[in-house]
Amino acid sequence: MSLQKLSEAIQAYIRPDTFPVGVKIVKNDSDLPAKAKRPSRDLGYLITICQAVSFSRRYGWTIAMNGADLSCPIAQVAFGYEEQLPFYSEGHLACGMYTDSLEAGAKSEQDVPKFSPEESGYYVSFPLERATVEPDVVVIYGNSAQIMRLVAGMLYKRGGSIPSTFSSRADCADIAIKPLQTGEPQVIVPCYGDRLFAQTQDHEMAFSFHYRDAEELIEGLEGTNKGGIRYPIPTYLRYQAEFPPTYQKLAAMFPGAAAKGSAEE
């Protein structure tokens, strides 16, 4: 399936404000895209996974990072760069901020999708239309109407609904890890860190899917467009406006107003 075809379909039917982003887990240095930026080397500081996605969707940069480039402790664990130490798994990071107890915090941490060290690798994000490698996952940010449009497209052939989970934390794992582990697309409510560190705006949501489903999504976007499900959402305009009494009084004074009123009746 052509990346160019997918990119063109997204632009035609969704019209996102930022670049659709491809995400790939790369095992070896030698397989990294030639122009990829390593945050620690090329930027001079560590970044979060969500910042990498934002660099790709807003700047058009290709970012390649692993644990040596990553500032977020939760993502270090989720993406298999560091082991789950007891302090993490017992819920200390969530307790007092997201939960009222260690027990609830531990449950929240357990629920974060995670790579094993064997599944881990360089996290590479890039704008889809400039891709030099085939992505594992594609993520598209947009407003709620644009995400609704993507959901409709993905369900065109399969029907039913898309199951997604929301926790307000670690959306980087929901975007990349969950589609790879479950094979299912995900509707993403951006987490607090995505908003704070990656500048994701209040009106934005995201939709991620396994790249193998790209052809199905394109067919669904085309089919639902023909069926009348479109973006921008058409506004219903087939009605006659009602005006204030003084406007109506003036209209009644115009020559032929009585005949016009009879014709409208």
For residue range 58-114, list pLDDT tens digits in order. 999 999 999 999 999 999 999 999 999 999 999 999 999 999 999 999 999 999 999
* Residues forming a β-bridge with 209: 138
Residue 127 domain-assigned?
yes
Mean pLDDT of 194-215: 97
Residue 255 domain-assigned?
no
Distance (Å, rounded) from C-alpha 143 to C-alpha 161?
19
Residue 246 domain-assigned?
no
Mean residue pLDDT across the chain? 95
Split into its structural domains, the chain has a count of: 1
Which residues, including other chains, have CB under 8 Å from residue 42's CB and lie 6 or more apart? none
Tokens 């659709």, located at residue: 20
Residue 241 domain-assigned?
no
Mean pLDDT of 154-180: 96
With CA atoms as reference, report the closest residue to 159 among 62, 224, 225: 224
Residue 81: CB atoms within 10 A of its CB come to 19
Its domain, for residue 92, covers: 7-226
Residue 234 domain-assigned?
no
The number of residues making up the chain comes to 265
Provide, rounded to the nearest whole percent, the portion of the chain with pLDDT above 70.
97
Task: Catalogue the E-assigned strands of 184-257.
Answer: 186-188, 205-210
Q: Are 104 and 95 in contact (CB under 8 A)?
A: yes
Q: What integer pLDDT is reported at residue 2 of this predicted model?
A: 87
Q: What residue type is assigned to position 129 of the chain? A: E
Residue 178 domain-assigned?
yes
